[in-house]
Structure 1
Amino acid sequence: MTLTRRTALISAAAMTIPALARAAETPIARSPGGAILGEGPLWSAPDNTVYWVDIRGKKLNALRLADNSAQSWDMPDLINWIVPRRSGGFLVGILRTVHALTLDPFTLTPLLTVEADQTENRLNDAKVDAAGRLWTGTMHMPFNKKTAALYRIDADLSLHRMDAPYLCTNGPAFSRDGRRMYHNETAENLVYVFDLAPDGALSGKRVFAHFAPGVGSPDGLTVDADDGVWVAHYNGGRISRYTPDGKLDFDITIPAKQVTSLTFAGAGLDRLFVTSAAQPPVDADDRHAGTLWEVPKSLLRGHTGLPTNAFAG
């Protein structure tokens, strides 16, 4: 067949448009790569900023959405998470100690230590429920003993051991009505769901999802406004959404293998940011390990997030 110029132009357009569509649906890098253990993204509406940590790099990072400017702060030890406080500033978990943090001026004030006698453990992942209670777990750093646990910290800074044993706790996240809590045992590829009572008691622990071999391990969690549960797949190069009854809805490929956590952000809670890590050994083809990603809205299927809860103390 002879190609006329008009036919050639149509053919070129037919080939180009799908390529452009694919490019538009690729997660966008919002930071340089190389974070050793990028984790714990937090949406802070008051300052229009996404915060996240590099645990092993001992850094707190910020991306201001108004102008996409970035800032980092060095920390004295492993910084495992950051959450906001109703009274202002933040709480951060550094190694095994919870600190109060202000950024301007920069101050760190130790408040309480978790598992002071477990020197091989550290804090790992935290979220605040609708009542203003902080939920955080621990993990065994050599990753071979189930000596870790899940804790609740109330507004008066009282510490309550809620569930054990774990090797590596991750999550947690809460349903829209605050009556369910999701939490991971990453080492066993299990996502659990608990019933959460108004007084903070847990009951009815059961398996919500079990990751099959080859898809990575469940890491950070978030819940959307439709009660869908979003999970990061560590060493799986993806995030997935589960329906409230525990059925896999869909997944989204992330251009890094060690995907660690995620959070909805922005004024409409319609932007999704995903952290990743570059923990040795990093595969040669994992060129974007340790990058903060933003997932295009076209891949979110209209889902939006829930507001960030702040610690009541």
Structure 2
Amino acid sequence: MTKVDCVCAVGAQLGEGPLWSAPEQAVWFVDIKGRQVHRFDTRGSALSSWAAPEEVGFVVKATGGRFVAGMKSGLHSFDPTNGKFTLITRVDSDRPRNRLNDGYVDGAGRLWFGSMDNDESQSTGSLYRFDQRGLRRCDENYVITNGPTTSPDGRTLYHVDTLERIIYAFDLNDGDLSNRREFARIEKPGAYPDGPAIDADGCVWIGLFGGWGVQRFSPQGELLQTIEMPVANCTKVAFGGNDLRTMYITTAWKGLSKEQLATQPLAGGLFATRVGTPGVAPNEVRYDG
């Protein structure tokens, strides 16, 4: 069994979106329902936190030392020096029950993210692209979106339909998507695919919400590996460390009963383990503003 350690027992209600920052040797992540942005310093194990004015689905780095946060109302710039969030553009303003959930920056500096019904019942969610051309809805009719991520060569984009338990693949060409197809389906009973991440071999890692672990799929969609976790709700992984072979895993206690929480005291913590194949370093959003 792979050794997995809880490196930060933060107790996030809905931990999500781990992001490795090499200059800081730190992991950024969010607690969506707790409305918190967290930064875990791996050198000294110190945790810094910022309160968000809305539910915050992700933070990603942008050029010029900036951050972009996906909030309930839309995309915001985030300045950790003063904790200020400033609106960039509204998203789904005609769908007030929606919020943003998960985001990723591709090699060209384009931000890809999803929106979803905050009550997790209506298929009002969409997959979006944000770049120098502005905001574009690229796919829709999701209840819960997760991802995306892209292959190392930038030619394939992966996106998750959580309730349908499907990971989709798209052809990606200059920011345009085509040929949506089923890449893989989660078969583990009680498990729902959450956030995806890519490694240097082009394999897709998926957090399993309710599945007690994370899974690794080949570029052909074949299940290769499962890492078991001591908590049920595993949301997403990120690769860090000097060799990008330390996998950080966000988790959640959302949806657990008091009895379940009593048996999972580390639920909502940030975990880490070592893997054989390194990940791919994160990119920065390129936008004017």
The TM-score normalised by the length of structure 2 is 0.95
Going by fraction, where is helix more abundant, 1 or 2?
A: 1
Contact 1:215 1:233 in 2 (8 A): no
| Partner secondary structure for residue 182 of structure 1 | strand
Alignment correspondent of 1:232: 207
- Cα deviation, 1:162-189, whole Å, max 9, x if unaligned, reads 0011111101111000000000000100
Going by fraction, where is strand more abundant, 1 or 2?
A: 2
CA apart distance, 1:294: 0.3
Amino acid at match of 1:306: V
| Partner secondary structure for residue 256 of structure 1 | coil
Contact 1:96 1:113 in 2 (8 A): yes
Alignment correspondent of 1:217: 192
Q: Give structure 1 stretches of 5+ with no counterpart.
A: 1-21
Alignment correspondent of 2:62: 85
Q: For 1:139-178, what aligned pairs fall within 5 Å after superposition?
A: 139-156=116-133, 158-178=134-154
Cα separation, 2, equivalents of 1:205 and 1:77: 32
- Cα deviation, 1:203-257, whole Å, max 9, x if unaligned, reads 1100011112515010011000011110000000110111110000010001110
Aligned: 1:306 with 2:283: no
Aligned: 1:179 with 2:151: no
Amino acid at match of 2:210: N
Runs of 4 or more consecutive aligned structure 1 residues displaced over 4 Å after TM superposition: none
Cα separation, 2, equivalents of 1:155 and 1:290: 35
The TM-score normalised by the length of structure 1 is 0.88
Matched length? 284
Aligned match of 2:264 in 273, 276, 286? 286
Aligned: 1:110 with 2:87: yes
Cα separation, 2, equivalents of 1:32 and 1:216: 23
Aligned: 1:242 with 2:217: yes
| Partner secondary structure for residue 279 of structure 1 | coil
Which structure has the larger Rg? 1
Contact 1:132 1:155 in 2 (8 A): no
Alignment correspondent of 2:231: 256
Identical aligned pairs, as a percentage? 36
Q: For 1:49-60, what aligned pairs fall within 5 Å after superposition?
A: 49-60=26-37
Contact 1:182 1:193 in 2 (8 A): yes
CA apart distance, 1:287: 2.6
CA apart distance, 1:33: 4.7
Aligned match of 1:205 in 159, 173, 180? 180
Contact 1:87 1:312 in 2 (8 A): no
For structure 1, which segment, 39-48 or 235-244, has the greater mean C-alpha deviation from structure 2 after superposition? 39-48
Contact 1:151 1:161 in 2 (8 A): yes
Alignment correspondent of 1:32: 9
Contact 2:56 2:101 in 1 (8 A): no
CA apart distance, 1:89: 1.5
Cα separation, 2, equivalents of 1:107 and 1:147: 29
CA apart distance, 1:290: 0.5
Q: For 1:188-199, what aligned pairs fall within 5 Å after superposition?
A: 188-198=164-174
For structure 1, which segment, 280-289 or 65-74, has the greater mean C-alpha deviation from structure 2 after superposition? 280-289
| Partner secondary structure for residue 87 of structure 1 | helix
